[in-house]
Amino acid sequence: MKPFHYVIIGNGVAANKAAETIRHNHADAKITLISREFFLFYYRHKLPLYITGKIDETDLQVYPVEYYRERNIRLRLGQIVQKVDLHKKVVYLKHMEKVHYDRLLICSGGRSYIPEIYYPFRSCFTTMKRLSTARTIREKLPSVQSIAIVGGDLTSVKLAETLIDTGREVTFILDDYAFWPLESASEIRDSLENALRKMGANVISNDPLNMVKQIKDDDPPLYEIQTQSGKTLQAQMVGAFFGFKPDIDFLIRSGLDIDRGILVDDQLKTAFDDVYAAGDCAQIYAPELKNYWVSVGWKNALRLGEAAALNMVGLTGHARKPAAHATQYKGIKLSTPWWHIL
Amino acid sequence: MNTPKDKPHNTEPVLNKRVASGLSHVNSDGLLNYRSHALPTWCPGCGYYGITHGLTQAMNTLNIPNENLVVVSGIGCAGRMPFFVNGYGFHSIHGRALPIASGVKMASPELTVLCVGGDGDGFGIGGGHIAHVIRRNVDLTYIVFDNSIYGLTKGQASPTTPKGQVTSTSPFGTAEDPINPALISLAYNVSFLATGYAGDPDILNTIFQKALAHRGFSMIIVTTPCITFDHVNVTWNDFRDRFEPIPSGHNTGDIAAAMQLAISGKNYNGVLYQDDRPDWETRQKAIRKKSSG
Amino acid sequence: MKQTDSLVIKICGSAGDGAISAVEILNRACALMGFHIMNFDSYPAEIRGFGKSVGHTRISRTPLLTPGRYADCLVALNDMHAITELKRIKPDAALVYDSRPPDYIEEDCAVAGFIEPGMSGYGVPLRELSAQAVKSARSRNIVALGAIAAMYNLDPEAFIEAINIRFARKSAVVREINSAALKMGYEYIRNHRERPVHKTLLAVKRHDRPIRIVNGNEAAAIGALDAGLTLYAGYPITPATKIMEYLAKKLPPKNGTVVQTEDEIAAIGHVVGAGYTGKRAMTATSGPGLCLMTEMLNLAVQAEIACVVINSMRGGPSTGLPTKTEQADLNLALYGGSGDSPRVVLAPANVPECYIMTRRAFEIAEAFQTPVILLLDFFLSNRFEDVDETVLETFEPGMFKRLTAEPVSGKPFERFRVTDNGVSPAAFPGMPGLKHAITGLEHTPRGFPNYEGDNHRAMTEKRRRKFIELQNAWPHPDVTGPKGQLSIGVLSWGSSIGAVREALASPELKGLSIGGCFPRLLQPLQTEPLKLFANRCDRLVVVELNSSGQLAGLIEQTTHKKAMRLADVPAEPPAVEQIVRYLTGVLK
Ligand SMILES: Cc1cc2nc3c(=O)[nH]c(=O)nc-3n(C[C@H](O)[C@H](O)[C@H](O)COP(=O)(O)OP(=O)(O)OC[C@H]3O[C@@H](n4cnc5c(N)ncnc54)[C@H](O)[C@@H]3O)c2cc1C
Ligand SMILES: Cc1ncc(C[n+]2csc(CCOP(=O)(O)OP(=O)(O)O)c2C)c(N)n1
Ligand code: SF4
Ligand SMILES: [Mg+2]
């Protein structure tokens, strides 16, 4: 008899917590993790330290490969899910392989978001969601002296800090998107600005980006940035930090209900039996609010991954919208249900 | 350990309906009774499948108990046969199947002993044994899979390869004339001889039934194409229409008439010769009687 | 990006996918660029039409001792077969696969699904590019070669030259479209990969010495041809058949004869008959055939007839493992036969030696009137190496010469005269005044049957004494390693010598107190140099591909020293890694 097959799309924190939970409760099932990234599960929040060379790739890794061997979890790394057929229960991979599941969990997380108005300049932007891009930045960085950061979400603060630490010139062009993933941006705007200045960054606020263009195709290249007030500046790298949005393009036409994420009930199940979603890609129903909420952040993803897995193995797990908690980061006062300073 | 509550872990594979009805048909005709679970390793399209089909039909009709069936073979593609038959099998060494099969039959006369092998195995390396098994008239059914080539070793000339054929060891064409195995066996005074064609499994079936029923050494030479290494002479195209029934009025008891057929240059589907002289075991019985009387 | 001295490339497909011919082109291209190559393909089944074939080749700037076991690059022309090869690749290997197969592949049947961290996947639309170039998927293998050229910074022009050589007898169109296919693979990698290069092979100088790419079987056959072979008689058997197939083409034009006999008994019979008339004749076989030949070889010993037998060993007793390598026929070669039955046994270590020793074997056979058995094996028979033709041309014939009798009037000819060195002057049918009869029965010097003890003793001794001269004249075994006392002395023979030498040169063992000793003449064994070596060693280790330690036993007998055995039957060439591990263990 073929073993029961759990397929998990993703190899982030939600996916890994889910795999661990499934294995704990279902010893002889087949478990497969699929990730487009070619790396073992790693701490995303440490990417800024990695980029500036403070830590190495091995320090990013959460588990060694033996962890998966011992637990008999099949890792399919560097493999991209192209589409799914939820009726036939098949996941189609880009390298043209079919994977059949008995129960599917989608933990595809988010990807760097670029607001529509800035979309024309996307080729000039460097983003930092994945280790592969971080690796490229790390390689380019030695020749880069000046960096402009547009947007400026929470992930960029740590990056700015380490960049300045290593003697680079950093200019922030803050705008309305800058405070992802906080629900209300205005409350921290000032403290953020102050904090950045204190770190030694130049800050341009209330004067959003108008245009970016590459003016030199050298090593390093050179970009010219213009704000709406007509101010121009030059930088050798332009980081775009506008937060993340669910990475679920491959689910278009799958029949799943999608709004700002994959719609799931408070047990993380989609409208399809045997199909669940958790982590940054999910939009979850909260019965007490009679509304949906989108999960963001490491700890939330971890909890959701666990809850989804419990439901998948036949036990019960509930998603709870976390309550906001107050934290401090570099003098920035935050009250957020999402972010934990890691 | 917890398993999912409400959903079955696995579902039985559901067979395609047509496949399923086809399978039940094959099952009910009994042919699978004589096939082992091993899938033949022969090239797709090899003539050996036809021979195997004819043979399983014959054994099924005669209802030979599987456990009494012994298939002895030499080495070659044909020699793989014992693995695909549901019975006892002995895949021995190149050219030496006949002596081993004789030993089996002499020691345990109650067994049905089949001996199979290629033309190289039977007429080349093992050719010397044929005369002697015929002299003894051991009750064996010997099927030669004659593809006029060394199949397993990838296409060298065999004793029945037509003269001039280019093979890997005769890049300028063979210098030798092929032997006429039917004529030779008749000259050795074989007690049963038939020839047939792998493309006619139903006719082979009737021939094999007669051979298995024959008490004594029966030899069946089956012409069969090696689709991989002979694209010239013994091919499906060449032989499709070339086999004809034994001429009506042929007396299978007349060895000279049988020899006429063997040298006619034509290809016959059927029994050329058969007589009922005593087999080895009968002779032994007489000797035993004599020795104790 | 990594730099490397040598690269192991595997191209894996089903029969008909062109894995093997791709490797042929790769070999040729690399030889043209001035690299050394060693190529050992594998096909598991004897029957064609099914099954996996793996082209395996190693490219290097320095001469190679082994083809290496683990690949730097695996090309999948057939996914299912390639999946089974994944255990034979390095952790940082590159995998070339078809990124756009015509349809989705079932779960776990796509090789790309098994790429692990550390490896690099090179997806190339092999079928599509091939279809663009040649209007069919047939040239996927050539597209893949183009990818390899880009991945390892190899000159695509050399590949095109190699394609032209390979398809020299085909039409110009075939050459052109395949060159186009090659370029497509090359360009695809260069244009679609941010980092096209996987590893860089340290460069070599191009030279224009004539290089032949031959395997052990061909080298032996060419050696026999150059020795002036008159008759080849044989019966097909893997892995020796190729020798016959080669000679069947090449010997008739030289007025020789190739006869395919009904079996090996007849084959060696023909050879003995030809030898009796003073002509050079040979047969080649493998274990089961050598078994059949033993009686006739006995006759040749007894009747003192020159004959050369190549035995290419395969695995196991009986039909065994026909397409796998092993070195387990040593005892059969040394001892097979009834009575005291001395004969010469030689084991070449590499392809050029197959040539040299086959040529030399005829001289030995004639000079000492004896059967000579050359022990090749599946690995050596089938592995291709680049051979510098100028090296072959430097072979000097005449190391050993036949002693022919002169008629002495009034005195009857003694064909088996008992002489000091045991060699009796020979005579052959057709020579006037020297008529005689020979027999397999024990005989007197004139060749008459005789069953007296004294005669038998004298004749037996004479037949053994013949070899003292050979023992002395033959070059001493290669000895490697530091001078003076050694912790370990490693011995090996035949095709395993390369792996042992590579192990001794490995970073793990280099500079340690380990030496090697590699005899080629296994009977008569050169006792003195072997004893000298053994006396310098605290421990002896014998590496060979059989389970009983056949050479080890012989070494113990001659040196009176216990020998440890790394005697294994993995059904494949010895692994350098295993030898290193074993020797490191012995040192601890
Ligand atoms: C630089 C940085 C700093 C951060 N700092 C913090 C912090 O301080 N505190 C905090 O709480 N959170 C932080 N986060 C956010 C946090 O890392 C994420 O919320 C968390 O990783 C989400 O986990 P996840 O499992 O839902 O998805 P992810 O970790 O995003 O994983 C998604 C997985 O899905 C795979 N995938 C997606 N699509 C496909 C496809 N089509 N085919 C195959 N595989 C696919 C990806 O390869 C990946 O393995 C930070 C993020 C970044 C990038
Ligand atoms: C003593 C010995 N010599 C050679 C071989 C190699 N060998 C195996 S099968 C074969 C010939 C096969 O030809 P055939 O008997 O016609 O059988 P086919 O493959 O055509 O069915 C040979 C030469 C062997 N196994 N043993
Ligand atoms: S090689 Fe010839 S005889 Fe052998 S299985 Fe294939 S087609 Fe049949
Ligand atoms: Mg045959």
Whether A46 contacts A59, CB under 8 Å: yes
Tokens of A223: 């970009």
With a 6 Å cutoff on the Cβ, whether B235 touches ligand 3 is: no
Average pLDDT over residues B180-208: 97
Alpha carbons B39 and A280: distance in angstroms, whole number: 51
pLDDT above 60: residue B212: yes
**Structural domain of A272:** 5-43+62-111+245-339
State whether A137 and A234 are in the same domain.
yes
C224-269 confidence digits (pLDDT tens): 999 999 999 999 999 999 999 999 999 999 999 999 999 999 999 9
A185 — pLDDT class (breaks 50, 70, 90): low
pLDDT above 50: residue B273: yes
What value of ipTM does the predicted structure carry? 0.84
Which CATH number does the domain housing residue A160 bear?
3.50.50.60
State whether C462 and C494 are in the same domain.
no
pLDDT in the model for residue A184 = 55
With a 6 Å cutoff on the Cβ, whether A73 touches ligand 1 is: no
Non-local (6+) Cβ contacts of A339 within 8 A are: A154, A181, A182, A296, A297, A327
State whether C310 and C428 are in the same domain.
no
Q: Tell me whether residues C105 and A97 touch, CB distance under 8 A.
A: yes
Q: Is residue A133 part of a domain?
A: yes
**Closest residue to atom 15 of ligand 1, CA basis:** A297
pLDDT above 50: residue B1: no
State whether C419 and C481 are in the same domain.
no
pLDDT above 70: residue B4: no
State whether A219 and A278 are in the same domain.
no
Q: Where are the alpha helices (DSSP H) in C336-425?
A: 351-368, 378-382, 389-393
Pairing assessment for the beta strands A291-294 and A282-286 based on DSSP bridges: antiparallel
Q: How far is C474 from chain B (nearest CA, A)?
A: 35
Q: Is residue A49 part of a domain?
A: no
Domain-terminating residue out of C341, C361, C393:
C393
Q: Is residue C324 part of a domain?
A: yes
- Least confident span in A165-179, A193-207, C20-34: A165-179
With a 6 Å cutoff on the Cβ, whether B77 touches ligand 3 is: yes
List chain C residues with CB under 8 Å of B94: 263, 288, 319
State whether A283 and A302 are in the same domain.
yes
pLDDT above 60: residue B3: no
The 3-state DSSP class for residue C94 equals strand
| Residue among A38, A64, A130 at smallest CA distance from C121 | A38
Domain-terminating residue out of C208, C232, C251:
C208
Ligand nearest to the CA of A341: 1
Residues, chain A: 342
State whether C179 and C32 are in the same domain.
yes
**Structural domain of C511:** 475-587
Alpha carbons C152 and C170: distance in angstroms, whole number: 29
Domain-terminating residue out of C474, C490, C521:
C474
State whether C199 and C336 are in the same domain.
no
How many angstroms separate the most distant Cα atoms in chain A?
69
With a 6 Å cutoff on the Cβ, whether A203 touches ligand 1 is: no
State whether C157 and C187 are in the same domain.
yes
A182 — pLDDT class (breaks 50, 70, 90): low
pLDDT above 90: residue A101: yes
pLDDT above 90: residue B19: no
Average pLDDT over residues B69-95: 91
Average pLDDT over residues C102-106: 95
C51 — pLDDT class (breaks 50, 70, 90): confident
Tokens of A246: 């669910």
Chains with at least 3 CB pairs less than 8 angstroms from chain B? A, C
Average pLDDT over residues A114-125: 92
**Total number of domains constituting chain C:** 4
State whether C107 and C149 are in the same domain.
yes
State whether A189 and A81 are in the same domain.
no
pLDDT in the model for residue A180 = 67
Non-local (6+) Cβ contacts of C100 within 8 A are: A96, C125, C127, C128
Hey, which bits of C420-534 come out as E strands? Answer: 478-480, 486-492, 514-518, 521-523
pTM: 0.86
Is A23 in CB contact (< 8 Å) with chain B? no
State whether C481 and C566 are in the same domain.
yes
pLDDT in the model for residue B38 = 81
pLDDT above 70: residue C48: no
Q: How far is C128 from chain A (nearest CA, A)?
A: 14
Domain-terminating residue out of A187, A208, A242:
A242
**Closest residue to atom 5 of ligand 2, CA basis:** C237
Residue A159 CA: nearest ligand 1 atom is 1
pLDDT in the model for residue A323 = 82
pLDDT in the model for residue A34 = 98
State whether C12 and C112 are in the same domain.
yes
C313-369 confidence digits (pLDDT tens): 999 999 999 999 999 999 999 999 999 999 999 999 999 999 999 999 999 999 999
* Residue from B81, B228, B234 to probe ligand 3 pocket by mutation (most atoms less than 8 Å from CB): B228
C133-179 confidence digits (pLDDT tens): 999 999 999 999 999 999 999 999 999 999 999 999 999 999 999 99
pLDDT in the model for residue C46 = 57
| Residue among B3, A155, B228, A1 at smallest CA distance from C46 | B228
pLDDT above 50: residue B8: no
Alpha carbons C37 and C58: distance in angstroms, whole number: 5
Would you tell me which residues 208-247 of chain B have a C-beta closer than 8 angstroms to some C-beta of chain A?
A: none
State whether A184 and A146 are in the same domain.
yes
pLDDT in the model for residue C208 = 85
The 3-state DSSP class for residue C508 equals coil
Q: What is the mean pLDDT of chain C?
A: 95
Of all residues in chain C, what percent carry a pLDDT higher than 70? 99
Average pLDDT over residues C412-430: 95
Domain-terminating residue out of A242, A270, A303:
A242
A70-88 confidence digits (pLDDT tens): 999 999 999 999 999 999 9
pLDDT above 60: residue B11: no
List chain C residues with CB under 8 Å of A95: 97, 99, 110, 112-113, 121, 123
| Residue among B185, B71, B53 at smallest CA distance from B117 | B71
Q: Is residue C135 part of a domain?
A: yes
Distance C292 CA to ligand 4 centre (A): 21
In order of C38, C293, C386, C502, the CA distances from C35 in angstroms are 10, 41, 9, 18
Q: Is residue A309 part of a domain?
A: yes
Q: Is residue C398 part of a domain?
A: no
Q: Is residue A50 part of a domain?
A: no
pLDDT in the model for residue C349 = 98
State whether C304 and C389 are in the same domain.
yes
Whether A234 contacts A222, CB under 8 Å: yes
Of B31 and C313, more confident: C313
pLDDT above 90: residue A189: no
**Total number of domains constituting chain A:** 2
Domain-terminating residue out of A213, A242, A271:
A242
B101-121 confidence digits (pLDDT tens): 998 899 889 999 999 999 999
B135-163 confidence digits (pLDDT tens): 999 999 999 999 999 999 999 999 999 99
Average pLDDT over residues C203-209: 86
State whether C370 and C315 are in the same domain.
yes
| Burial (CB count within 10 angstroms: exposed 0-12, middle 13-18, buried 19+), residue C118 | exposed
Which CATH number does the domain housing residue C264 bear?
3.40.50.970
Average pLDDT over residues B173-201: 97
- In the block, which residue shows the tokens 């036939």? A88
Non-local (6+) Cβ contacts of B102 within 8 A are: B133, B136, B138, B140, B280
State whether C179 and C223 are in the same domain.
no
Residue C322 CA: nearest ligand 2 atom is 25
- Most B CBs within 10 Å: which of C53, C235, C292, as the mutation test of the B interface? C235
